[in-house]
Amino acid sequence: MSIVLASLAAGAATLAAPATPADPQAARDLVRRCEGKESFSDPAPPARIFGNVWYVGTCNVTVLLVTGPAGHILVDAATEEAVPSILDNIRAAGFEPKDVRWIVSSHEHFDHVGGLAALARATGARVAATRAAAKVIRSGKVSPADPQAQEIHGSRPARVDRLIDTGDVVRAGPLALTAFATPGHTEGSTSWHWKSCDGADCRTVTYVDSVTALPLGTYRFADHPERVAMFRNTFAQVEALECGILLTPHPSASAMFERMSAERRLDEPGACKALAAGARDRLEKALAQ
């Protein structure tokens, strides 16, 4: 395990008192308005998750606004079609899009970076990504090595202003988001962690990228041992984390809306272990098939 992940595992032990969702009613309204919606671009209302972390994405794709006194950071960009609703959500939450300083991403599929070019243009924010992700983001073309390459389309090319590696920190004043690579779903898959506070209650927030082994077309994981090794290394990293408040690029992957609505604990103990275990099981089933 890298030094940055070892530090996260050791320093984010779950507190005895559960973290309190910031606005359960707003989250329940989000769920109600998204009922039956299946598109990646269906607009959803904003909802504050905890402290300075807001959900400003769509019904099925997470976009996070992490706010600060010296500017904000957006995590992920959803689809190009979703950009107007994301900008509306930032404003509805009480913030100005022009105050977004950085946009970072989870992985380089169109449903997470399709809106990147338009959001960067609308906000004036800079974009940070790993080298593997930047290659796809800049070209707009899906990597031919991607397990979904045969059936997934690309996205509008976007600029990348800063190349990052595991342990690098993206800052906006006191905001500090630390990246760690979690490849498998794509070569550039990137997860993030940071501290957020609700008054004196400060928690680790961990945004774990998609860890799903999803082959499309004729792709078979059994033919690609290097991809299987990527996944298994990522699973080991993720399950070692005490992730605090777990957030994911698709809310359904970690029951985010249920936890935001206070139907379940926001900072469920063992959440990262459970996420990795489910992903490992899916990979083993794909290998067996």
Average pLDDT, the chain: 95
Q: What is the CATH number of domain 24-288?
A: 3.60.15.10
289: confidence class by pLDDT, cuts 50, 70, 90: confident
Neighbours of 218 (CB within 10 A): 7
- At 11-33, the pLDDT tens digits run 444 445 899 999 999 999 999 99
Give the whole-number percent of the chain exceeding pLDDT 70.
94
Q: Is the CB of residue 213 less than 8 Å from the CB of residue 231? A: yes
- At 162-202, the pLDDT tens digits run 999 999 999 999 999 999 999 999 999 999 999 999 999 99
Q: Is 0.85 topped by the overall pTM?
A: yes
* Calpha distance 203→200 (Å, rounded): 10
